[in-house]
A and B are shown apart, each in its own frame.
Chain A
Amino acid sequence: MKYKSELCGYCGACVSVCPVNILELNDWRLEIQPLCENCGRCIIVCPVGALEEADHEI
């Protein structure tokens, strides 16, 4: 999952649906642990499109 911090509104929607609890929202930043399973739940609930699927070209 790719995070565009410039679009983020810090609402925590992504944190609440993450099944592996790798997201943490503190003050004005979203911290992401490197164990994302690319399930896409956070992408669906983000109200501002700040999250995208990771590139798969490699």
Chain B
Amino acid sequence: MKYDVIVVGGRVSGSVSSLFASKNDVDVLMVEKQQEIGVPVQCAGGVSDSFFKTMDLKPLQEYYSRIEGATLHAPDGGQVSTRNKISHGYILERKLFDKNLAIQSAEAGTDIMLKTPVKDLIMENGQVKGVVVRHQGKLMEISADVVIAADGVESQVAKMAGLNTHFEPYDLCSCAQYEMVGLDIDPAMIEFYFGQKIAPGGYVWVFPKGNTRANVGIGIRNIPNGSNKNNGNTQNTGNNGNNGYDKSKNAHHYLQKFISKLGGTPVEFNVGAVPVSGPVEKTYTDGLLVVGDAAGQVDPLTGGGIHVSASCAKIAGTIAAEAVKKEDSSAKFLKKYEDIWNKKKKIGHNLKRSLKYRRMFDKLDDQEISDLIKVVQGQELESVSKLTLLKMTKEYPQLFKLLRNIL
């Protein structure tokens, strides 16, 4: 069997890559190891308005709920709300959204194989020439000019081609989430809760999905030796930070604690891991591109990845098709993908800036987070000028250093 382009993974990055490759008139196969696209859900489903503009997609009523603001809750109970346009967006029903993207890709001409994990790559003279999959109990070789690895945080495909897509524990946010019904919430506002006792190294989110329903989830991060050093350092330190780690205090533990005071009842449970150390060093090699979570294309501050991954996947699919037409799938040509997403579109720059903010945020203790939120409390966030913030830091001098770095 032979295709022009093979996309490994059928979630957002996979479907968007294959959609844009197919739109450019090449033969595309997407392989998904699960038997159903979009399951299990590993995401809270939040996207901003700009996502649909970038992707030229229309949000369908069946799979979203509208968000018009956000509330941040400080460790000391203080809170601040904003209805700024930046906070406007949607909470997606990921199962339906993912499947709809796959359907759009299939309608554009993509062939899809389900329940088909990739076991190996076909390599010739150091160039990726296709994949070896297990399909209906048999190993099968499928050749391709370009392989796109969109196989998520647990990606093995890019590693098989020699790219370094390994993550260390402190590169990941471990997440757990209940979709719950019967909550006392404002269905137009997303909420975030911060604090070492609530969500160490991360936050709790409440993402409304209509009426009394919401995704209530948590992401936590283990920071080596209990300090805030080495965050986002992707070097293997030899010490994995396991010393004194209490596995009973996992994401699910903190989530149970949080929801115990909410009331409501769960109708779905999800777990996941989000890479929050910025993009991997290199996202292309001879005959292969890597996109999405597998490439670390996630905003390190918020952990949001749908819009970043989809933007990069659109570029990957387009460049893969161009490589096929020009009969050049060398690393030299495919580098164009990275040049566009990293430099031309400035996605790389934005992710790095976000990583810088996250590292600053990591250094704040509960008191400092509470103070920061107190400074802007009672005001609409967009009305807070830089000057006001600087004046207010007189009252909270410890914030000065943080703000100086941001402003």
Q: Is the CB of A11 within 8 A of B166?
A: no
Is A44 part of the contact surface with B, judged by Cβ < 8 Å?
Answer: yes
Is B329 part of the contact surface with A, judged by Cβ < 8 Å?
Answer: no
Q: Is the CB of A43 within 8 A of B247?
A: yes
Q: Name B115's contact: one of A10, A13, A27 (CB within 8 Å).
A: A27
Q: Name A45's contact: one of B156, B169, B269 (CB within 8 Å).
A: B169
Query: How many chain-A residues does the 8 Å CB contact rule pick out?
Result: 26
Binary flags per residue of B264-307, CB closer than 8 Å to A gives 1, else 0: 00000111110100000000000000000000000000000000
Q: Is the CB of B154 within 8 A of A41?
A: no
- Measured between beta carbons, the chain B residues less than 8 angstroms from A15 are 154, 156
Query: How many chain-B residues does the 8 Å CB contact rule pick out?
Result: 39
Instruction: Specify the chain B residue showing the minimal Cβ separation from A43.
Output: B247
Q: Name A12's contact: one of B35, B154, B222, B248 (CB within 8 Å).
A: B154
- Measured between beta carbons, the chain B residues less than 8 angstroms from A46 are 174, 247, 250
Binary flags per residue of A34-56, CB closer than 8 Å to B gives 1, else 0: 00000111011111110110000
- Using a CB-CB cutoff of 8 Å, which residues 236-250 of chain B contact chain A? 236, 240-242, 245, 247-248, 250
Instruction: Specify the chain A residue showing the minimal Cβ separation from B243.
Output: A40
Q: A16-B154, A39-B240, A41-B168 are in contact. Are A48 and B245 (CB under 8 A)?
A: no
A34–B150 CA distance with the chains assembled, in angstroms: 27
Q: A17-B169, A46-B247, A47-B174 are in contact. Are A40 and B240 (CB under 8 A)?
A: yes
Instruction: Specify the chain B residue showing the minimal Cβ separation from A40.
Output: B242
- Measured between beta carbons, the chain B residues less than 8 angstroms from A11 are 40, 42, 175, 270-273
B246 to chain A, nearest CB (A): 10
- Measured between beta carbons, the chain B residues less than 8 angstroms from A16 are 153-155, 166-167, 172, 273, 275
Q: Is the CB of B270 within 8 A of A17?
A: no
A43–B246 CA distance with the chains assembled, in angstroms: 10
Q: Is the CB of A9 within 8 A of B169?
A: no
A44–B248 CA distance with the chains assembled, in angstroms: 10
Q: Is the CB of A49 within 8 A of B240?
A: no
Q: Is the CB of A47 within 8 A of B272?
A: yes
Q: Most chain-B CB neighbours within 10 Å: which of A11, A17, A25, A43?
A: A11
Q: Is the CB of A49 within 8 A of B253?
A: yes
- Measured between beta carbons, the chain A residues less than 8 angstroms from B33 are 26-27
A7–B235 CA distance with the chains assembled, in angstroms: 30
Instruction: Specify the chain B residue showing the minimal Cβ separation from A8.
Output: B271
Binary flags per residue of B143-171, CB closer than 8 Å to A gives 1, else 0: 00000000011111001000000111100
Q: Is the CB of A47 within 8 A of B251?
A: yes
- Measured between beta carbons, the chain B residues less than 8 angstroms from A41 are 168-169, 240, 242
A24–B271 CA distance with the chains assembled, in angstroms: 17
Q: Is the CB of A44 within 8 A of B240?
A: yes
A10–B36 CA distance with the chains assembled, in angstroms: 14
Q: Can you list 20 A-B contacts (CB < 8 A)?
A: A9-B269, A11-B273, A12-B153, A12-B154, A13-B154, A13-B172, A13-B273, A15-B156, A16-B153, A16-B166, A16-B275, A19-B166, A40-B240, A47-B174, A47-B250, A48-B176, A49-B247, A49-B250, A51-B247, A52-B247
Chain B residues near A (Cβ < 8 Å): 33-35, 40, 42, 115, 117, 152-156, 159, 166-169, 172, 174-176, 222, 236, 240-242, 245, 247-248, 250-253, 269-273, 275
Chain A residues near B (Cβ < 8 Å): 9-13, 15-17, 19, 21, 24-27, 39-41, 43-49, 51-52
7 closest A-B pairs by beta carbon, nearest first, are A9-B271, A12-B154, A13-B273, A15-B154, A40-B242, A47-B251, A11-B271
